[in-house]
Structure 1
Amino acid sequence: MVDPELLSLLIGNIYDAALDSSLWAGVLEQATQFIGGTAAGIYWKDITVQGELHYVYNVEPSSVDEYFSKYIRFDPSLTAQFFFKIGEIYNTTNVLPYSEFVETTFYKEWVKPNGWADHLAATLDKTATSFAQFGVFRSERQGLADDDMRQRMQLLVPHVRRAVLIGNVIDLQKEKAGSLSDALNGLDAGVFLLDSQCHVAFSNMAAQALLDDATILRAVNHTLIAVDPDAAQVLRDVIAAASGGDGAVGADGVAIPLSGKPGQNWVADILPLTSGARRQAGAHHSAVAAVFVRKVSMAARYPTEVAARQFRLTPSEVRVLDALLKVSGVPRIAEALGISEATVKTHLQNIFGKTGVRRQADLIKLVAAHARPFPG
């Protein structure tokens, strides 16, 4: 059973980290203990086989450097991670059979030397070419992630996602901002501070521009209302819950879709201001929550994902296909994936059969075509 008070306190600490990024290391330690792991991190990766660790707990800096400088290209889960939906939770066995995983170069040279057995993760945000992730490592003694760990992870992921997104938007630079209002006025994102009835206690200049446009949001008698009826209801519910404390704010508030002009996609992220370091920020305005409104691009899917869905490739076939895009020749693909050359050849033959091409070069051209928005 989860202790409600402990969970609420942890959620509050997560939201405090949205305003003060120096708190993330401590928050990740608490989250690791709560979820049931031994180490954790928040990081991003992209299709150029690069990435960066933003916040970390209990991972040696040398291991981080080794991963991003060398072993990321051998990570068998990297391609599959582009396929998971935002907020979806997955571990190693959701990507490939564990018996195959322990035979990879990645496991033998990086995972096992660190004393880890598994990695439970969730995608926080993604584009066609990159994704941000929250991950918790399991030690060999702890073994593979179980259902209890997944359930505890699920309780935290919506709040971690909200805090990370808002923290990226705010970047308060406290030495330059004399007050919360000064900091918010300097943001490109629209920000509203609301009381429990959705009355607008403060709006920055970008938020006022959104109200003047009245396409996605409007103010009626100083009450903030989303133009879309469904979004309006969710907004009211989440703001009402915010007045009850951090633990009362559910997953619905992570990213509320807002209607907008054709070709645009607007979302609202909500930060409770009712406890912790955030209480002082909201007290001056009698606000219970801050609403951050931002426009996001509707990016195309990762090209390998498109090919995998179109031709119904298996996870093993996708890994071989992705390796083919990065290294040339069956021997190098086999070495990178930790499988035999015969297995690579079998997967390639299956891919050829599904896609209708007969040469590796033609297969590369086929996948590359999915990366062009206007194939010619």
Structure 2
Amino acid sequence: MIDLEGVSAQALSDTIGAIYDCALDPQLWPETCRKIADLCESTGGGICVHDMRHVQNDQLFVFGYQPEFLDKLGSQYAQSPMAAADIVAGIGDVNILSTDRQELLESRFYQEVLAPFGLTDMIWFPALRTGGRMASMHASRKDEAPHYQELEIGLFKLLSPHVRRALTISDALDLRTLHSEMLEKTLDVLAAGVFLTARDGRVVYMNAAAERQVTIGTSIRILNNRLDPVDAAARAALSKAIERSAADDVDGTAGERSLAIPDENGAGYIATLLPVQRGHRRDIVAPFAASAAIFMQDPLEAPLMPGEAFARLHKLTGAELRVLLALAQGLGAREAADMLGIGEPTVRSHLQHMFAKTHTLRQADLLRLLQSSTPAVRAPQPADL
């Protein structure tokens, strides 16, 4: 259980409610980011979007930072401890820069990016991955403020799934530009299955992904025009959630719910149910006379970032992966140490740990193993076969 002593239940409830408001109105994120930063006594924060293909780092809805710091962070993000940690971490995993304080203080990232602007620590979690983009939420402390502790980490862990769902819905639907007449076309390009249901539970719309999930039929089916999970417990829970959603929406207490929709083999989907009968949500789905939107997502379908699968397979740490990716660029140990802002002995120590984890003996063997684990840039075309 997460210990959040000193954080009131009302403050948590208000913040979580504000997060879900952002799902349908992204312009509310600046105020919500400040709410989250206030809860963990931070001086700055916001949402950062990293474009891994074009090596761009865009700060959205940020506050508490000098423009010069944001420019410097953007130019050095790819070589930062944050980038390496995000490659290894799963969506929603909370990290703090001061996990290894001594290594942080000795790093070039701290000396050149954080220290000149008085920043002492940052806390963050990856919240969304779509193709080559990744969005993360962060907060920071500066000057004499203490490093983040278990309380702040626990708070971020609690808020993480709510932020992730809100960003996923907002990003997928792109509600800032969506018009009702474009809804069906927009929903059909989503990877997640989207089911719109009426107040009595009847399915009034399925996007293309939802139709595929129903056709496969290992976790979810349609019976009498209603969603019918294969698992009996999930069937009862989903029916009750749809019913409660309609009732809650009437008295204004509606909120998001998530349910497991398993198959017989221990896999399946995560269903996120969102009431849509009030305000902006109602206007968007008006053509379908829907009461609830159910997003059905396979949790194993998140796209991988470069090096992520290799790091997870061999249980590499973020620091080890940073060294490996630097060496993969053709740098020697001394050059890699200089680029990463750490000592050459630290690079060699990380190398020894990676040799042991990957059962390799030399740097050349390690790099060959990494290269052989990297997927082809494109799938073979018929002419290539």
TM-score (norm 2): 0.75
CA contact (8 A) 1:122 1:133 kept: yes
- What is the rounded CA distance, in whole Å, between the counterparts of 1:82 and 1:61 in structure 2? 26
Aligned to 2:348: 345
| Residues 250 and 84 (structure 1), Cα distance of their counterparts in 2 relative to 1, 3 Å cut | farther
- Equivalent positions of 1:123-272 (< 5 A) are 123-126=126-129, 131-172=134-175, 177=179, 179=180, 182-186=181-185, 187-188=187-188, 189=190, 190-194=193-197, 199-200=201-202, 202-203=204-205, 206=208, 209=211, 213=215, 215=217, 217-229=220-232, 231-236=234-239, 238-239=241-242, 242=245, 244=248, 252-253=258-259, 256=260, 267-272=270-275
Q: Which amino acid aligns with 1:65?
A: D
Asked if 2 retains the 8 angstrom alpha-carbon contact of 1:234 and 1:252, the reply is no
Distance apart, 1:16 and its partner CA: 1.9
Structure 1 contact 45–51 (Cα < 8 Å) conserved:
yes
Does the CA-based 8 Å contact 2:194-2:296 persist in structure 1?
Answer: yes
Counterparts of 1:298 and 1:202, CA distance in 2: 26
Pair 146,227 (structure 1): closer, same or farther in 2 beyond 3 Å: same
Determine the C-alpha separation between the residues in 2 that align with 1:129 and 1:211.
25
Give the 3-state SS of the residue equivalent to 1:172 in structure 2: coil
Work out which of the residue numbers 51, 58, 62 in structure 2 matches 1:53.
58
Residue 121 (structure 1) aligns with: 124
Instruction: Give the direction of change, closer, same or farther, for the CA distance of 1:194–1:298 in structure 2 (3 Å limit).
Output: closer
1:242-289 residue CA offsets vs partner (Å, 9 max, x unmatched): 455798857745xx55659x9x97654333447675476689988653
| Matched AA of 1:317 | E
Supply the AA of the counterpart residue of 1:63.
F
- The Cα of 1:130 is off from its aligned counterpart by 5.7
Name the CA distance, whole Å, in 1 between partners of 2:77 and 2:30: 23
2:70 to 46, 64, 67: 64
**Superposed CA RMSD:** 4.0
Q: In the TM superposition, what is the alpha-carbon distance from 1:80 to its structure 2 partner?
A: 2.4
Distance in structure 2 (CA, Å) of the matches to 1:76 and 1:208: 38
Unaligned runs of 5+ in 1: none
Tell me what 1:10 maps to. Answer: 15
Q: Which moved more, 1:122-131 or 1:14-23?
A: 122-131
Question: Deviations along 1:115-139, whole A, 9 cap, x unmatched?
Answer: 3222212222347966432222222
Percent pairwise identity: 30
**82 and 313 in structure 1: CA distance in 2 versus 1, 3 angstrom threshold:** closer
Residues in 2 aligned to 1:234 and 1:112: alpha-carbon distance in whole angstroms: 51
Q: Which residue among 105, 109, 134 is the counterpart of 1:106?
A: 109
Q: 1:330 aligns with which of 328, 333, 351?
A: 333
Alignment length, in residue pairs?
362
**CA offset at residue 147 of structure 1?**
2.0
3-state secondary structure, aligned to 1:78: helix
**CA 1:24/1:330 → structure 2, altered by over 3 Å: closer, same or farther?**
same
1:41–1:306: structure 2 CA closer, same or farther, 3 Å change rule? Answer: same
Structure 2, unaligned stretches of length 5 or more?
1-5, 380-385
Once the two structures are superposed, the pairs formed by residues 20-59 of structure 1 within 5 Å of their partners are 20-45=25-50, 50-53=55-58, 55-58=60-63, 59=65
Amino acid of the residue matched to residue 136 of structure 1? A
Cα shift readout 1:86-125 (whole Å, capped 9, x = no counterpart): 222221244xx11111111111111223332222122223
User: Is 1:289 equivalent to 2:288 in the alignment?
Assistant: no
